[in-house]
Amino acid sequence: MKDQSSLYERALANNKKWIAEKRATNKDFFKHLAEGQSPEVLYIGCSDSRATAEDLMGAQPGQVFVHRNIANVVGGADLNSLSVIEFAIGHLHVKHVVVCGHYYCGGVKAAMQAKDLGVLNPWLRYIRDVYRIHQKELDAISDEDQRYRRLVELNVQEQCINVIKTAVVQKTFLRTGAPVVHGWVFDVRTGELIDLKIDFENELKHIREIYDLGFEKG
Ligand code: CO
């Protein structure tokens, strides 16, 4: 019989089942978890309930450091995402940074509309800035759905560039050869993760022409 209660009502009971499952596969699971974390990946994704980070890449607790916000944005003065990046790279030494957008992103959709959305305006401005940078390409796409999908991809690309603009990425990569920044899109219709194949080293080289924080000169 199907349980008709809400997820919220079932959550604590579900948690007990989850503990039992984890212990059944590895009796020391929580002992290891308590010893600390050394995630390999920093995932920066959308808060959308369908794009669930660990679950869609088959990751276990302890493997992915996660930051999610509306439309996976990395703003130049956003202490939240910048602190996550600083900590994940400078202290946890992640080897990969993934910016993951998703098709049918409500944040990207909202940014495409000429509408005052209150406190969301300054946040959506980051995405409208992406549209402005790529206006020629986007305006040339007559199909609205296709244009929406392309903006999702371009937003991922520009947020990857914003990650590359940070001193911690530039300095750590030049010193150690990691982390590498990747751009992905999650297709909610198929479940597929699509690698946009961002040429990280080329982007880094290009970014350092203007935003070089890597090597202190002199
Ligand atoms: Co979204």
The pLDDT tens digits of the residues spanning 20-37 come to 999 999 999 999 999 999
Please determine, for residue 217, whether its predicted confidence score (pLDDT) is greater than 90.
no
Q: Give per-residue pLDDT as tens, 59-97.
A: 999 999 999 999 999 999 999 999 999 999 999 999 999
What is the model's pTM? 0.95
Q: What angle do CA 164, 168, 173 make, to 5 degrees?
A: 70
E strand or H helix that includes residue 101 = strand 96-102
pLDDT band at 218 (very low <50, low <70, confident <90, very high): very low
Q: Separation of 32 CA from ligand 1 center, angstroms?
A: 33
Q: Give per-residue pLDDT as tens, 194-204.
A: 999 999 999 99
Please determine, for residue 3, whether its predicted confidence score (pLDDT) is greater than 90.
no
What are the CA-CA distances from residue 150 to residues 26, 49, 61, 143, 202 (Å)?
43, 21, 32, 11, 21
Is 100 one of the annotated active-site residues of the chain?
A: no
Domains of the chain: 37-107+159-211 (3.40.1050.10)
Q: Give per-residue pLDDT as tens, 40-56.
A: 999 999 999 999 999 99
Q: Give per-residue pLDDT as tens, 100-151.
A: 999 999 999 999 999 999 999 999 999 999 999 999 999 999 999 999 999 9
Q: Separation of 78 CA from ligand 1 center, angstroms?
A: 18
Is 46 one of the annotated active-site residues of the chain?
A: yes
What's the pLDDT at 216? Answer: 65
Say what angle helices 167-176 and 200-211 make with each other, to 10 degrees.
Answer: 120
- Percentage of the chain beyond pLDDT 90 is 95
Q: Separation of 186 CA from ligand 1 center, angstroms?
A: 10
Is 105 one of the annotated active-site residues of the chain?
A: yes
In the 8-state DSSP scheme, what is residue 55? G
Active site residue: 67, 100, 102, 160, which one?
102
